[in-house]
Amino acid sequence: MQNNSYGHTTAVRIGGKEHRDWESYDIDSDFLIPADGFDFAIGLPYGAAEIPDLSGETCEVVIDGQTVMTGIVDSQHHDKRKGSRSLRLSGRDYAGLLVDCSAVQLNVKGMTVLDAAKKLVAPWPQIKNIRLKAESNPVLDKIDIEPGESVWQALTHIANSVGLHPWMEPDGTLVVGGADYASPPVATLCWSRSDKRRNTESVVLEWSVDNRYSEVVFLAQSHAKSGDSAKHDLKWVYKDPTMTLHKPKTVVVSDADNLAALQKQAKKQLADWRLEGFTLTVTVGGHATRDGVLWQPGQRVHVIDDEHGIDAVFYLMGRRFMLSRGSGTQTELRFKEDGVWTPDAYPKKSEQARKRKGSKKGVTNRKKAGKKQKTETNKTAVFE
């Protein structure tokens, strides 16, 4: 039984065989979550043949013939009761291996960020392809990989030091880079009480100032003066022009040899904090756009919500495919402000995205709140 009205065929490929007809599943992928995960469940007829242990097996999650995740089955749960049986498979993409395992001690100074990534993941033959998605392949300065640090932590640390981020593609390719904000929107989603274009099941808007600050002082100690641990000879101060609350913060950056390196890491941190300030979560029926394109993190989508005055393009940071008896086939889409995440990967493209006109594109500029404006571009000084 494939319990959905959208005609999607979802399968798990293991050892050359496809396992279909799941009663429920959850397939989650998000740039901000270290490892994408999946969970499948099905009821089995009483007296069904014994199912072998599949934990540790390589697998692919496939929807309508298209691979949406490649990884490892972490666990298998087989529940047998009088008159009933059920099977549950859970796992993660290949990033799960890097999250679980400790990194080797590695001197990356003088390497490009791509070469360093290849060195870190070399022990895992499952990860065959590593590629760069950015305008340049920066050369790394001295970066300390702490004992016990996981491979994924070390990889993220190295990528973040040059304003980039690591993630896994559906086919198991490891990517180090950032968002391409020049790609056209793949769809328009609308929420309205009266508009016939409404094509969403639910919309959740969340604003937060938990990790937003009025002033942040970033400090670092250049390696040339590392003998004196009490002094930080590098300093960069950022003031948020959109914050009215008094919330000062000081951050010490461990790996920055000069002011430019300090600023790059500081801007990456500020961009991540700004992302936390606004989340738009939209739930839609099915797993694909009207044109039949499966939803995938990294897409750009035009969103209209006339109740909140939203009319802008947003960046799809995460998506969750779901199937359940009660709700059928759905997709949860988690959007963030366009042009903010990893702005150093493609600086001009991200700048153009931030300057595009749109209503209520992200975090609230409280110094402009209450004033009538045709459009709100939400410029942030850190990106200028």
CATH of the domain at 148: 3.55.50.10
State whether 240 and 304 are in the same domain: no
Q: pTM for the whole thing?
A: 0.89
Of the pLDDT bands very low, low, confident and very high (cuts 50, 70, 90), residue 58 is very high
Which pLDDT does position 369 carry in this prediction? 55
State whether 345 and 363 are in the same domain: yes
Domain-embedded: residue 182: no
The CATH number given to whatever domain includes residue 265 is: 3.30.1920.10
Q: What is the CA radius of gyration of the chain?
A: 23
Which pLDDT does position 378 carry in this prediction? 46
* Residue 158: closest CA among 142, 174, 179, 180: 142
Mean pLDDT of the chain: 89
DSSP H helix total and E strand total for the chain: 5, 19
Q: Give the type of residue at 107.
A: N
Domain-embedded: residue 2: no
State whether 14 and 107 are in the same domain: no
Span 293-346, pLDDT tens digits: 999 999 999 999 988 999 999 999 999 999 998 899 999 999 999 999 999 999
Residue 262 has pLDDT above 50, yes or no: yes
Span 142-154, pLDDT tens digits: 888 888 999 999 9
Domain-embedded: residue 3: no
Residue 377 has pLDDT above 50, yes or no: no
User: Cα separation of 195 and 89, whole Å?
Assistant: 41
State whether 341 and 203 are in the same domain: yes
Residue 193 tokens, joined: 């009480």
Span 350-363, pLDDT tens digits: 999 988 877 777 78
Of the pLDDT bands very low, low, confident and very high (cuts 50, 70, 90), residue 160 is very high
- 219 contacts 253 by C-beta, under 8 angstroms: yes
In this prediction, residues 11-22 reach a mean pLDDT of 93
| Residue after which a domain boundary falls, among 62, 93, 124 | 93
Q: What are phi and psi of 209, to 5 degrees?
A: -115, 15
User: Cα separation of 314 and 308, whole Å?
Assistant: 15
> Which residue has 């000084």 as its token pair?
381
Could you tell me the CA-to-CA distances from 339 to 182, 266, 362 in Å, in that order?
10, 17, 11
Count of domains forming the chain: 4
Of the pLDDT bands very low, low, confident and very high (cuts 50, 70, 90), residue 374 is very low
Domain-embedded: residue 183: no
In this prediction, residues 6-32 reach a mean pLDDT of 93
State whether 63 and 134 are in the same domain: no
Which pLDDT does position 223 carry in this prediction? 61
Which pLDDT does position 1 carry in this prediction? 35
State whether 128 and 249 are in the same domain: no
State whether 319 and 201 are in the same domain: yes
State whether 200 and 318 are in the same domain: yes
In this prediction, residues 192-210 reach a mean pLDDT of 89
> Which residue has 């939400």 as its token pair?
378
DSSP state of 349: H
* Residue 220: closest CA among 242, 236, 207, 244: 236
* Residue 59: closest CA among 125, 11, 100, 101: 11
Domain-embedded: residue 283: yes
Domain-embedded: residue 5: no
Which pLDDT does position 2 carry in this prediction? 42
Which pLDDT does position 224 carry in this prediction? 55
State whether 252 and 328 are in the same domain: no
Give the domain range for residue 236.
Answer: 215-276
